[in-house]
Amino acid sequence: MQHRAEKVVLVMVGLPARGKSFLARKVCRYLRWLGHDARVFNVGTYRRERVGQHQPASFFDPGNSSGNQARQRVALEALEDALRWLRADGQVAIYDATNSTRERRRMLEELCQRDGIPVLFIESVCDDPAIIENNIRETKLMSPDYAGVGMDDALKDFRQRIAHYAKAYEPVEDARQSFVKVLDGGRQVVVNRVDGPLRARVVALLMNTRLTRRTLWLTRHGQSLYNQRGRLGGDSELSHQGEDYGRALATHFATPPEGFEVWTSTLKRSMQTGSFLGLPTTEWRVLDEIDAGACDGMTYEEVARRMPDVYAARKADKLRFRFPQGESYLDVIRRIEPLVLELERQTTPTLIIGHQAVLRTLYAYLIGDPVEHCPHLAFPLHTLIELSPNAYGCDEKRFPLTRAIEERHSMPPG
């Protein structure tokens, strides 16, 4: 799907430690993955560069006029940079700061309107002390603001900084403004006057975002008969080695975590691999491998020989290359978007048994790798990838489950 470029400024709103930067980065990653040019402008980073890190809590006191001026200056500088970038070739600027007063927000809106660029406010409201405390410990105390400061002192200072902001905080309430309000990490979401397909997607992501963290596992199906022969696509059965991998996977998950889910595609090699686990599985057609169209069933050598133009086009731009009557990597990304939203929404540990191209696109989203890298990500057969989310990204472990098997048999390249 192609849309006329919809430019927009997403303005984050909220007290410190309410997960604004988490949401800002998440939205940015999602939009970039969908092919939009998005960028976060973090006012804290500008402040540290211009005014220096290690500002005490009193710098953030609304009664401190020199502190106020300095903060206003860097806030404007960040916005001007964002607007300059949008006037050039940028598409979505995510303006990450507390923006905690009506006056500040009106000013931001006016400056954007001058350039004819609409604003969507994204407010994160949280009164759950456990979530706030966890946020502070996980992200704020790691910030350059507190480099070399003891944990207890940093914590005390940061709580004071929050208190200063809280004094002047005015929630987003203006019914004429376009806003999304996320309460307590998604327990409640309020969406007001949101327009445009790109913003509708941002809302869909925010609606589905959960704070709960869970582990995901990605793996390709076991080796198929087509893999053995180096053929593209098809719907062949598992080879003996592929079956061995299914068994190895079942052993690895012999004691599955609570609520464990298994997702497969609707292709035989994926469903057969999953069947070894002996658990209920969910089949997703959107997890099916990239459609090789007219090249389905061929080897790459045959494509090179019979369709030299197609082969050359694929080599030249593997991301945008679309198999004749088939799909490109970008097509696969658009196709799996609903699955990504469902992954964001559900919070149970899940094993996804997919295919090389489709997993590359999913993995790029999960770890935040640029979409251009997708077609080149290493995704060998018979390797289980474990992704455990941390504050802003994922920790990764790879288990080559059937190394012993592979050493016995000789494997063609994945």
Active site residues per annotation: 96, 126, 221, 289
- CA 108 – CA 239 distance, rounded (Å): 60
CB of 349 to a second copy, least distance (A): 16
- CA 36 – CA 50 distance, rounded (Å): 30
54 Ramachandran zone, left/alpha/beta (phi>0; psi -120 to 50):
left
CB of 296 to a second copy, least distance (A): 7
Tell me how far CA of residue 113 lies from CA of 64, 90, 346, in angstroms.
30, 16, 37
Q: By the criterion CB under 8 A, which residues form the site for a second copy? A: 1-4, 175, 187-193, 197, 200, 203-204, 207-208, 233-235, 280, 282-286, 291, 296, 324-325, 331, 334-335, 337-339, 342, 345-346
Cβ-count burial 326-361 (b if 16+ within 10 Å, e if not): bbbbbbbbebbbebbbbbbeeeebbbbbbbbbbbbb
CB of 68 or CB of 192, closer to a second copy: 192
CB of 314 to a second copy, least distance (A): 18
Residue 71 identity (one-letter amino acid): R
- CA 91 – CA 38 distance, rounded (Å): 6
CB of 54 or CB of 268, closer to a second copy: 268
For every residue of 327-361, DSSP letters joined together read --HHHHHHHHHHHHHHHHH--S-EEEEE-HHHHHH
Cross-strand pairs, 389: 394
Q: Please identify which residue in the block is written with the tokens 């927000």.
A: 105
The two three-digit tokens of residue 301, written as one number = 């050598």
CB of 62 or CB of 297, closer to a second copy: 297
CB of 302 or CB of 342, closer to a second copy: 342
CB of 270 to a second copy, least distance (A): 14
CB of 211 to a second copy, least distance (A): 14
Phi first, then psi: give them for residue 60, nearest 5 degrees. Answer: -95, 5
Question: CB–CB of 235/227 below 8 Å?
Answer: no
CB of 145 or CB of 289, closer to a second copy: 289
CB of 243 or CB of 283, closer to a second copy: 283
* 159 CB-side CA count, 13 A: 10
CB of 238 to a second copy, least distance (A): 17
Helices 65-87 + 43-51 axis angle, to 10: 120
- CA 199 – CA 193 distance, rounded (Å): 10
CB of 257 to a second copy, least distance (A): 18
Phi first, then psi: give them for residue 257, nearest 5 degrees. Answer: -65, 160
CB of 168 or CB of 330, closer to a second copy: 330
